[in-house]
């Protein structure tokens, strides 16, 4: 019985997922927790809140919570292969129901982070390579110096010599 219920091929898994009821997810409730990370394994959990969508006049007002655990291994040069996927569904708590579907999820267009021009992107990459700082701190340095590469490099060199740049700036 257990073997018969277990889905073994891509087509069978997708066909099974297609049979599940249609749902609406509260994107703002999503969380991702990395459980284990090594060079050969990545395990993470995606959790959130959802409710079933009304289909053919049948309404289900129950709000549910889910946790989906993925175990992946490297595939190719830059991909991941899911070797195990477990989905857990439960009734949402009173607090989860109260907070669900009340605030719109943030969108890239409403993000306060400014979009960089192509020359700024190139300058940012070059500055990060030259300074050894991560992109976030490199961008901060360039912005603080009004995107003047030479001035930013001079200030960076001075601050680094004085030990005023935190170690976190060099974590990539």
Out of 55-64, 124-133, 152-161, 163-172, least confident range: 55-64
CA dihedral 103, 106, 109, 111 (to 10 degrees): 120
138-161 burial, b at 16+ Cβ within 10 Å, e below that, comes to: bbebbeebebeeeebbeebeeeee
Strand segments (E) across 19-145: 23-37, 42-52, 63-75, 79-91
Output the six-digit token pair for 140.
């901060």
Taking the C-alpha atoms of residue 158 and residue 154, their distance in angstroms, rounded to an integer, is 6
What proportions of the chain, in percent to the nearest 5, are helix, strand and coil?
Answer: 35, 30, 30
The pLDDT value given to residue 104: 59
- The pLDDT, as a whole number, for residue 119 is 85
pTM of the model: 0.52
Stretch 33-55: mean pLDDT:
91
């Amino acid at each position: 019985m257990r073997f018969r219920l277990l889905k073994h091929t891509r087509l069978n898994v997708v066909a099974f997922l297609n049979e599940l009821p249609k749902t609406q997810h509260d994107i703002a409730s999503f969380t991702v927790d990395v459980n284990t990370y090594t060079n050969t394994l990545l395990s993470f959990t995606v959790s959130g809140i959802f409710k079933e969508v009304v289909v053919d006049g049948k309404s289900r007002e129950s709000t549910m919570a889910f946790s989906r655990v993925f175990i992946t291994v490297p595939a190719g040069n830059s991909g991941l292969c899911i070797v195990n996927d477990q989905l857990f569904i439960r009734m949402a708590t009173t607090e989860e129901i109260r907070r669900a579907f009340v605030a719109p999820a943030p969108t890239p267009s409403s993000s306060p982070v400014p979009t960089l021009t192509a020359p700024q992107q190139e300058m940012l990459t070059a500055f990060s390579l030259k300074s050894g700082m991560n992109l976030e701190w490199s961008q901060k340095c360039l912005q603080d110096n009004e995107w003047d590469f030479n001035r930013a490099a001079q200030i960076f060199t001075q601050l680094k010599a004085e030990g005023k740049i935190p170690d976190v700036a060099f974590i990539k």
